[in-house]
């Protein structure tokens, strides 16, 4: 049998990794597929820069249409990222009868439903393992061997940039801005890190994961998203003092009343939670199925080589189907049949119940604690513990930190709004959600 031919759109760092992997492990692939996989065409606006891998210049093109129009190409790999023209290219590839492999979580989070429907109508596969968790094969597992389960939850650390920054802030007692700058210099954060540090990238991934786990179509814009830019060294120190570590978590849960809880925010987790030790650029994703119980996946969540591993893994799986006779032979893009996809109502953030760490900056004078505690009590919020560190510092604001028992987020927000109006409160009060028993 002739080699299976793939076309690549978007020849950046990850694309170069795919070229390298297909070259270095061509024997491994042939031994597992029964035929080779050749990248026969690469489209990019820039076809002159050196990507550090040797490529026959004859296969480079600036026109993506050269790939869609090539009848020998069975699989299109989309690696340009972003919403457009990625969406147009993927839909064109599907319309041309090509299987699609993509790493584009943003595209799938916003336009997944449209793309999956087009693929189903055309009988081609859309695979996207690299979109979440880099090389960690968690999406394949959810669609594949774990498919017998009804999932109750999926959560984890899914953005290496944020995790790297928080890990260094924790280890060095450093502040956000300083670590971000150093992370950019070291290549752990993009020159424009907005999508990472504001949580958007994590929310894209949560949208993809939750759709898979719960068989539901999710309105990406309705997912609560809070990044790590508001986390300061003092938050991290107080959290550690109470036995917690701050991580940017994505959390998806099916609630007992048939709602979906989906949220991305800095979260305090107990130091003994396995996720607390996931450091640096690593990702960890945990899910709970009604039969399998808790399962955790851990590995490199980004980077050229791990991402190429996931992309070529998808190429291999599709190629096995082609070798066996063509067409889509495996799970539908979401694991569920299109007809089984539902839309679950999202639980409003005001109704979320967790414990909270509250941090106030207040003038150090009599009656302050009584005032704050009184307002919390009035809103039905009970206090587990409290710490006020500095005193007698000449009239400046002192930090007051309060750990609450479980409370409705709506009550917390209402209480803080009213407390912030007290004349002895010097800056906007902060809260961080605490998850003691994520399951």
Closest CA to 411 of 376, 436, 435: 376
205 counts as catalytic: yes
In order, the DSSP letters of 79-138 are: -S-SSTTHHHHHHHHHHTT-EEEE--HHHHHHHHHHHHHHHHHHT--EE-GGGSSTT--H
**x/- letters, 197..236, toward a copy of itself (CB under 8 A):** ------------------x---------------------
Residue (309 or 354) nearer to a copy of itself, CB:
309
Among 23, 63, 181, 329, binds a copy of itself (CB under 8 A): 329
Q: Which residues between 252 and 291 bind a copy of itself (CB under 8 A)?
A: 274, 277, 289-291
76 Cβ contact partners less than 8 Å away, ≥ 6 residues apart? 6, 7, 8, 9, 67, 68, 89, 90, 93, 98, 99, 100, 101
327 binds a copy of itself (CB under 8 A): yes
Residue (151 or 195) nearer to a copy of itself, CB:
151
415 φ, ψ to 5°?
Answer: -65, -45
Q: Do residues 213 and 151 make contact, with C-beta atoms less than 8 angstroms apart?
A: yes
Residue (28 or 54) nearer to a copy of itself, CB:
28
Residue (14 or 402) nearer to a copy of itself, CB:
14
Choose the stretch contacting a copy of itself; rule: CB under 8 A; options: 20-28, 75-83, 198-206, 431-439.
20-28
Choose the stretch contacting a copy of itself; rule: CB under 8 A; options: 56-64, 81-89, 194-202, 312-320.
312-320
Residue (76 or 141) nearer to a copy of itself, CB:
141
15 binds a copy of itself (CB under 8 A): no
Among 15, 17, 199, 333, binds a copy of itself (CB under 8 A): 17
Choose the stretch contacting a copy of itself; rule: CB under 8 A; options: 58-66, 68-76, 110-118, 304-312.
304-312
Per 3-state DSSP, what percentage of the chain is helix, strand, and coil (rounded to 5)? 40, 25, 35
| Least Cβ distance, residue 38 to a copy of itself (angstroms) | 14
129 binds a copy of itself (CB under 8 A): yes
121 Cβ contact partners less than 8 Å away, ≥ 6 residues apart? none
Residue 47 has which token pair? 């076809």
Cross-strand bridge partners of residue 404 = 383
Residue 392 has a CB neighbour count (10 Å cut-off) of 7
320 Cβ contact partners less than 8 Å away, ≥ 6 residues apart? 33, 34
Residue (25 or 232) nearer to a copy of itself, CB:
25
181 binds a copy of itself (CB under 8 A): no
Which is catalytic among the residues 205, 247, 355, 375? Answer: 205
Among 12, 36, 81, 137, binds a copy of itself (CB under 8 A): 137
Among 13, 23, 24, 221, binds a copy of itself (CB under 8 A): 24
84 Cβ contact partners less than 8 Å away, ≥ 6 residues apart? none
CA dist., res. 327 & res. 331, Å (int)? 12
Among 170, 225, 309, 411, binds a copy of itself (CB under 8 A): 309
Residue 345 has a CB neighbour count (10 Å cut-off) of 12
Q: Do residues 298 and 278 make contact, with C-beta atoms less than 8 angstroms apart?
A: yes
The residues annotated as belonging to the active site are 205
Q: Write out the residues near a copy of itself by the rule CB under 8 A.
A: 17, 21, 24-25, 28-32, 34, 129, 135-137, 140-141, 144-150, 215, 274, 277, 289-300, 303, 305-306, 308-310, 312-317, 320-321, 324-325, 327-332, 335-337, 340
């Amino acid at each position: 049998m002739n080699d299976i031919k793939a076309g690549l759109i978007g020849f950046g760092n990850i694309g170069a990794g795919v070229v390298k992997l297909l070259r270095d492990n061509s024997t491994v692939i042939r031994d597992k597929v029964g035929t080779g996989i050749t990248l026969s065409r690469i489209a990019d606006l820039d076809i002159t820069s050196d990507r550090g891998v040797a490529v026959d210049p004859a296969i480079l093109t600036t026109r993506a249409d050269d790939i869609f129009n090539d009848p020998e190409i069975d699989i299109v790999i989309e690696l340009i990222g972003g919403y457009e023209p990625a969406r147009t290219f993927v839909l064109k590839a599907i319309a041309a009868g090509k299987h699609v492999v993509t790493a584009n979580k943003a595209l799938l989070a916003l336009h997944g439903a449209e793309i999956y429907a087009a693929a189903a109508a055309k009988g081609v596969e859309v695979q996207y393992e690299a979109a979440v968790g880099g090389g960690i094969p968690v999406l394949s597992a959810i669609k594949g061997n774990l498919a017998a389960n009804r999932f109750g939850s999926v959560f984890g650390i899914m953005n290496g940039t944020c995790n790297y920054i928080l890990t260094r802030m924790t280890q060095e007692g450093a502040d956000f801005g300083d670590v971000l700058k150093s992370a950019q210099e070291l290549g752990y954060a993009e020159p424009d890190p907005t999508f990472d540090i504001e949580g958007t990238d994590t929310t894209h991934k949560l949208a993809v994961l939750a759709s898979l786990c719960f068989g539901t179509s999710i309105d990406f814009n309705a997912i609560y998203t809070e990044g790590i830019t508001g986390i300061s060294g003092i938050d991290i120190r107080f959290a550690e003092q109470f036995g917690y570590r701050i991580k940017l978590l994505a959390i998806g849960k099916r609630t007992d009343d048939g709602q979906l809880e989906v949220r991305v925010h800095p979260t305090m987790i107990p130091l003994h939670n396995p996720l607390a030790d996931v450091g640096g650029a690593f990702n960890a994703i945990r899910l709970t199925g009604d039969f399998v119980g808790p399962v955790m996946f851990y590995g490199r969540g980004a980077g050229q080589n791990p991402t190429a591993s996931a992309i070529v893994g998808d190429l291999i799986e599709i190629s096995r189907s082609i070798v066996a006779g063509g067409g889509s032979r495996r799970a539908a893009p979401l694991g569920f049949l299109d007809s089984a996809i539902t839309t679950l109502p999202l639980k409003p953030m005001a109704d979320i119940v967790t414990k909270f760490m509250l941090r106030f900056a207040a003038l150090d004078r009599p009656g302050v604690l009584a005032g704050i505690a009184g307002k919390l009590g009035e809103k039905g919020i009970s206090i587990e513990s409290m710490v006020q560190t500095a005193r007698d510092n000449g009239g400046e604001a002192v930090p007051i930190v309060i750990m609450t028992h479980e409370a409705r987020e709506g009550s917390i927000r209402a209480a803080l709004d009213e407390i912030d109006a007290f004349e002895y409160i010097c800056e906007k009060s902060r809260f961080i959600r605490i998850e003691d028993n994520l399951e």
